[in-house]
Structure 1
Amino acid sequence: MCMKIFALQRCYSVAEGGCDKYWAEEVGVQDCGRYCLPGLPGYPECKGVWAGFEDTESSKVNPHTFYQRRPKACPICPLKEEFSHVKADIEKLENSAHVQGLIQAERTRAEQKEAAYKMHCFNEMWNTTRALIASLQSKADAIWNGIETALHGHFGAHGMANPVVQGLAASLVDAKKELVGHVESTTKEMATALVGPCHTFDLEREEAEESARLRDSGMATD
C-alpha cells in the first residue's frame, strides 16, 4: 500500500505567537516499491491511498493537554510573523523623513505638471477662440464690403441717399454685428465651460474694436 504519513500537531497558543490550531505534519511515506506516488496507484495489487495518520499517536483520540504539552509551530505562523516584520519595516521606511520627502517631491512635481498641462489647454482654447472670432469678423467685413460695393454700383451715389436704401444698408450692418456677436458669445461660453473663464478676453475685444474704429476713422479722413 502506498501512503503518505501525517502526524496531527497543535500549534502554539496565541499568547505564545501561534494560532492554537491543529495541523497535519507530513512525517514520511510508505510505498509498495512501484514508485507511483504522488499519483494514483498504477498496479492492481497496489491498494494505495492518498494519505493516513501514524498509528501510535495521531490515529487515536488524545486529550487537548496531550498536544498542549508538545506544541509545534505550523507552517503558516512563522510566515505570518515574518510578514508582520516585513510590513513593520516597510511602514517604518514609509514614515521616514527621507521617504516622505521623496513622496512630497513627486507629489509637487505631479501637481506642477498637471498645472502646466491645464494652463497649456487654457491658452490653446482661448487662442483658438480669438482666432475663430477674428476670422469670422474678417469674413463678415469682407462680405459687407462686397455688399456695400454692389449697392453703390447698383444704386449709385444718388440712390444711396434714398432713405429706403439707407435703411437696407443699416439693417445689413446690424445683421452683421448680431451674427458676429452671437458667434463670439457662444464661443466664449463654450471655452469658459471647457477650461474656465479668461478675464482679459472682453478687454482684449474692446481694445481690438477701438483700434479698428480708430483705423477706419483715420482711413476715412485720409
Structure 2
Amino acid sequence: MLNEEGRVDFRKIIPFAGEFPWNGIACDAETLADVVRRKPLDENPLIASLEAGSRDRVSLDQLSDESFEQFVQMLRNHRATGYLHDMDFARANWGTKWNAYDQAVDQEAGTARFDTAWSFPEPILLKVSEQFPDATIEIRYADEDIGSNCGSVTFQGGKAVARDEAQRWADMDQLQREKWQAFAYEVKRWTPDEDDE
C-alpha cells in the first residue's frame, strides 16, 4: 500500500493498466471520446443538457495538439482497459477520483491519515483487507460536509464486518446531527471555529 517514499499509494493496490502521462484532463478530448464511444447522457436532465451542449460544440479539427494526443490516448486506454484515463479508472475502482494526499503515515503504530477526493476509498480498503485476511483494519472518515458523510468501518478478510455511519442529514434528528458533527470534527482535527473561517 506504500510506495518507495513510504506514502499511501492506491496504484500499488489496484493499479491502472493504461497510460495517461498528463497531470490534467483536456475536457474537449474527453467529450469527444464520449461522443466516439456513444456514451449515454447522464440520467440527470440538467447534467444531460450540459453534456449535450458540450458534445454539440466539440470538434476533432478544433482540438489543440495536446488535446488531440489525449483524445487518442483515451481511446487506446478504453480499448485496453475499459477506462479513458486514470481518473476515470479511479472513480470506478478506488471510490475516489485520485490518489491519497496530505498524508501522515506511522508504520510503527500501523496507522495512516490521508485525504481523498469525494468519499473514502472503500474498494481500496476491501482489497487491502483481502490481501491481509487476518488483519483487522479500522477506519474513521469524515469530509468537509461536517456531520453528514462520515463514520467508521471495520474490514477483515476482504469484507466490511462492522459499520457505524451517519445517515443522510435530512434523516437525522438534532441529537444525531450533533453526534456526527462532533465525530467529524474529531476525525478532521478541526474545531467549529476553524470551520467557520
Q: Give your verdict on TM over 0.5.
A: no
- TM-score, length-scaled by structure 2: 0.21
More strand by share: 2
Q: Which has the larger radius of gyration?
A: 1
- TM-score, length-scaled by structure 1: 0.19
